């Protein structure tokens, strides 16, 4: 194996996150994946061989490589290979199908596509056959990772070379680093609803700095620290956790897809200390764990996408010695931008938001209509800045100007409030916030109140248009064996809430409509709004 010298790789380069540990402690474990263990030296060498292979394919600085890959060794080694040569990794969720895959490959202008034909029975050739050939015309090569192989009939440009990941890594490793810290290295897609997703471009130095900030804040640099990587690397949530673990030089137990029972087994087998996920994932792990299986897990952090689990989950995990903290992040700022403090009371540390992980971050709250900066404690739009901010939207300067202020604050589109101690609370997406009676109201406030009712397991509140101003409508999931007494629920709201916050109707649903993305499962409030309007229209004469 070629010797690794840390001085060869500048700190601003993303590949320094693995090159540093590979030089200092080459045999230390970087990954547990698919039943195998990979040292930092082995991971670094694999990435350097991939880098040489990409250069051999003609990939240069600023050119794009599409990653249609699950979590695995190939994903990480290719990512650090792109960082070494200045190429840009474009994340493509394995759940995506022809329209999304074709759009991302086509608009990004990807030169290389990496995919895993044998992953979970996904019919990659059939998906590619439904992609408009014009969207694939810039592809020069397709790298097949894992054990699967695309059939010769797979519809790819005739000039596109096909090779396995071992063939890509067949040459000698590349030692030089050609990218600057300002260079873009990773593109993530936003979850567009009414228009094509935007491409969020992050730079080498920003990701590397953020990874070190997170590692320090989450104490990933403890000598026994080890992380469960259950979130997909194609989203900023999972990506940020992986980079922070590498920044600390600690091992990562990598899952290709989340399974609660397997996650619990990995925690017990490898004595994992850190886990980051959605509240739903962590709750399923707690449900699956036998006594003592999660004993090593001392830190868990979550983004709240489900409802009605927050404080209860924190108390459940704390009973086993795990401190759960709420988080805040977004594609434009990376995940783990802020986190609550593990030492705070449950009701404080379990809420979304917290203190920024970077000492150079800044928070302000603005009126979404006037732009006026609000005082601590007043709700408004979160505007955030810091080292983890995106370079911009790839290929869309107009959208970048709209999203980032002249003084560098990202306009998040989220409703929140600053507390005056350097922290903030995330309340809701601005599109989900309710303008009721002339006041800006977080639906979470009404939902939390509804969930105090023993018969209500979870609640979602949306606003519907009305000639007299928007009105709130509530949807609830009931606890087993319960029945909805709508009049009693509304009467209780009238007794305890301001008049403009009282739902005009409460409807029971078996499940809430959701969408599954790389950063978690999110409730589709737009569908709930449509359902509310439809149900109310049925009841009108």
pLDDT, tens digit, 9 for 90 and up, residues 418-448: 999 999 999 888 877 787 866 778 888 899 8
**CATH architecture, domain 12-26+38-200:** 3-Layer(aba) Sandwich (3.40)
CATH topology of domain 258-429: Rossmann fold (3.40.50)
Residue 360 burial (CB count, 10 A): 11
**pLDDT at residue 2, rounded to an integer:** 47
- Residue 313: per-residue pLDDT: 86
Every domain of the chain and the residues it spans: 12-26+38-200, 258-429, 434-538
Q: CA of 135: how far to CAs of 103, 138, 394, in Å? A: 7, 8, 17
In three-state secondary structure terms, 311 is helix
Examine domains 258-429 and 434-538 and report if their fold is the same: no
* C-alpha closest to that of 250 among 228, 233, 230: 228
Residue 92, CB half-sphere, CA atoms under 13 Å: how many? 29
Q: Tell me the pLDDT tens digit for each residue of 398-413.
A: 999 999 999 999 999 9
Architecture of domain 434-538: 2-Layer Sandwich (3.30)
Cα separation values, 311 from 133, 308, 331, 418, 539, Å: 50, 8, 26, 21, 37
DSSP letter assigned to residue 501: G
User: Which residues of 232-351 form beta strands (DSSP E)?
Assistant: 252-254, 274-278, 299-303, 323-330, 334-339
A 10 A CB-CB count for 323 gives 19
Measured CA to CA, the distance from residue 125 to residue 338 in angstroms comes to 41
In this structure, what token pair is assigned to residue 539?
Answer: 């009841």
Tokens 């087993």 correspond to: 480
- Tell me the pLDDT of the chain (541 aa) as tens digits: 445 455 478 889 999 999 999 999 999 999 999 999 999 999 999 999 999 999 999 999 999 999 999 999 999 999 999 999 999 999 999 988 898 999 999 999 999 999 999 899 899 989 999 899 999 999 999 999 998 889 888 889 989 999 999 999 999 999 999 888 899 999 999 875 446 789 999 999 999 999 999 999 999 999 999 999 999 999 999 999 999 999 999 999 999 999 999 999 999 999 999 999 988 899 999 999 999 999 999 999 998 645 455 678 888 898 889 999 999 999 999 999 999 999 999 889 988 999 999 999 999 999 988 999 999 999 999 999 999 999 999 999 999 999 999 999 999 999 999 999 999 999 888 877 787 866 778 888 899 899 999 999 999 999 998 877 789 999 999 999 999 999 999 999 998 888 889 999 999 999 999 887 776 677 888 899 999 999 998 866 4
Provide long-range contacts, Cβ within 8 A and 24+ apart, for 203-207. Answer: 203/391, 204/12, 204/13, 204/14, 204/83, 204/179, 204/180, 205/12, 205/181, 205/387, 206/334, 206/387, 206/388, 206/389, 206/390, 206/391, 207/14, 207/243, 207/334, 207/388
């Amino acid at each position: 194996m070629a010797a690794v010298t840390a001085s060869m790789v500048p700190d601003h380069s993303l590949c320094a996150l693995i090159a540093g540990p590979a030089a200092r402690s080459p045999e230390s474990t970087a990954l547990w994946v698919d039943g195998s263990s990979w040292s930092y030296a082995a991971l670094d060498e694999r990435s350097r061989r991939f880098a040489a292979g990409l250069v051999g394919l003609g990939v240069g600085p600023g050119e794009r490589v599409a990653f249609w890959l699950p979590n695995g060794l190939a994903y990480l080694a290719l990512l650090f290979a792109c960082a070494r040569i200045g190429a840009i990794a474009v994340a493509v969720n394995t759940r995506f199908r022809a329209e999304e895959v074709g759009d991302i490959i086509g608009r990004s202008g990807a030169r290389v596509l990496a995919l895993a034909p044998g992953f979970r029975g996904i019919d990659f050739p059939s998906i590619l056959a439904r992609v408009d050939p014009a969207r694939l015309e810039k592809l020069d090569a397709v790298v097949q990772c894992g054990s699967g192989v695309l059939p010769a009939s797979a519809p790819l440009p005739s000039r596109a070379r096909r090779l396995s990941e071992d063939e890509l890594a067949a040459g000698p490793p590349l030692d030089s680093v050609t990218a600057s810290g300002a260079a873009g290295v990773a593109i993530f897609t936003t979850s567009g609803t009414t228009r094509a997703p935007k491409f969020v471009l992050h730079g080498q130095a920003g990701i590397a700095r953020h990874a070190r900030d997170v590692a320090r804040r989450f104490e990933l640099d403890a000598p026994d620290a080890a992380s469960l990587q259950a979130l997909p690397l194609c989203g900023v949530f999972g990506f940020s956790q992986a980079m922070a673990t590498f920044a600390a030089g600690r091992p990562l137990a990598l899952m290709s897809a989340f399974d609660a029972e397997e996650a619990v087994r990995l925690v017990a087998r490898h004595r994992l200390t850190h886990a980051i996920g959605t509240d739903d994932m962590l709750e399923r792990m707690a449900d699956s764990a036998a006594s003592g299986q999660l004993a090593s897990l001392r830190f868990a952090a979550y983004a709240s996408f489900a409802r009605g689990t927050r404080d209860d989950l924190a108390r459940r995990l704390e009973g086993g010695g795990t401190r759960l903290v709420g988080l805040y992040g977004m594609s434009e700022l990376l995940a783990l931008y802020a986190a609550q403090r593990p030492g705070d009371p449950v009701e404080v540390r379990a809420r979304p938001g917290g203190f920024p992980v970077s000492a150079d971050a800044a928070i302000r709250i603005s009126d979404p209509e006037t732009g006026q900066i609000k005082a601590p404690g007043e709700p408004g739009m979160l505007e955030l800045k810091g080292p983890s901010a995106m370079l911009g939207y790839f290929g869309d300067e107009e959208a970048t100007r709209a999203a980032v202020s002249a003084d560098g604050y990202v306009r998040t589109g989220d409703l929140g409030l600053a507390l005056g101690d350097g922290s903030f609370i995330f309340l809701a997406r601005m599109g989900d916030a309710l303008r009721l009676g002339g006041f800006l109201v977080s639906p979470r406030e009404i939902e939390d109140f509804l969930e105090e009712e023993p018969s209500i397991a979870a609640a979602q509140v949306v606003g519907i248009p009305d000639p007299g101003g928007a009105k709130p409508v509530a949807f609830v999931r009931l606890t087993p064996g319960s029945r909805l007494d709508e009049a009693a629920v509304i009467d209780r709201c009238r007794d305890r809430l301001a008049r403009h916050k009282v739902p005009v109707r409460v409807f029971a649903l078996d499940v809430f409509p959701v969408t599954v993305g790389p950063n978690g499962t999110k409730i589709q409030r737009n569908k709930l709004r449509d359902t509310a309007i439809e149900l109310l229209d049925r009841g009108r004469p």
